[in-house]
Amino acid sequence: MTAIISEETRTRDAIAAAGKSLFDRGLTFGSAGNISVRLSSGDMLMTPTNASLGALDPARLSRFSAEGVHTGGDKPTKEAFLHQCMYCKRPQSAAVVHLHSTHSVAVSILADTDPEDVLPPLTAYYVMRVGALPLVPYFPPGDAALAEAVALRAEKSHAVLLANHGPVVAGATLTDAQYATEELEETAKLFLLLRGSAIRPLTAGQKAALLPQAPPPDRHRPE
């Protein structure tokens, strides 16, 4: 008889697998970065403090209640609030990936980028997976003011770039959040490789055609 694997067990294993994939490919290092997934109950699993994403123990992930209270597992990361404020503003999201990936961090340090949308639309896949990428001003790690700044940007974008720190990306699933984070890092790498060269990014029209279209107005709604 085949055993039924619970949602939580599958999610714990998926977080560990995603962490190892990111670590093995050099997208994170040491104990930097964190991953979370929100369960159907509203509770949340997150990689704990001082843990390498390349060697996660699924049983030791931090667990939070739907209200954001730490209820089990290892001591949580001080960056837990980054995940919580993304979920608060993006109820459709079920996963968040935060990395200190090299090229994305490098772009976050540049002085001449547009804080409303840091990277140009270099490829269709970047536009489809990331869209706009606003820059959140620098705050020290763990500063509560950073949560407010991230929440403000998260209202309109599922991906933000923390100045001198790294990306925070939400997705409908863990796979969506991971792939979008990877696409962001590769686009940041392309952007840095192309600096000083004349470039031909997608036009405004080409970009708009790739973005989700706003729903039509409700004709029965009273003015």
- Say whether 87 is catalytic: no
Q: Is 30 left (phi over 0), alpha (psi -120 to 50) or beta?
A: left
Distances (CA, A) of 146 to 86, 138, 186: 12, 8, 25
Provide the pLDDT confidence category of residue 220 given band limits of 50, 70 and 90. Answer: very low
pLDDT band at 64 (very low <50, low <70, confident <90, very high): very high
User: For domain 7-195, which CATH number applies: 3.40.190.10, 3.40.50.720, 3.40.225.10, 2.60.40.3500?
Assistant: 3.40.225.10
Per the annotation, the verdict on 125 as an active-site residue is yes
Of 7, 67, 79, 126, which is the active-site residue? Answer: 79
Pairing of strands 159-162, 135-136: parallel
CB-based contact 37:71 (threshold 8 Å): no
pLDDT range class, residue 218, cuts 50, 70, 90:
very low
Per-residue pLDDT of 136-161, as tens digits, reads 999 998 888 999 999 999 999 999 99
Q: Per the residue annotation, which of 8, 125, 138, 179 is the catalytic one?
A: 125
Domain boundaries, the chain: 7-195
CA distance 102 to 106: 6
CB atoms within 10 A of CB 70: 16
Q: Which helix (H) or strand (E) holds 96?
A: strand 95-98
pLDDT at site 213: 67
Percent of the chain with pLDDT over 70: 94
| 11 CB-near residues (< 8 Å, 6+ apart) | 37, 39, 45, 174
173 and 95 Cβ atoms separated by less than 8 Å: yes
Distances (CA, A) of 134 to 50, 58, 72, 120, 185: 28, 32, 33, 11, 15
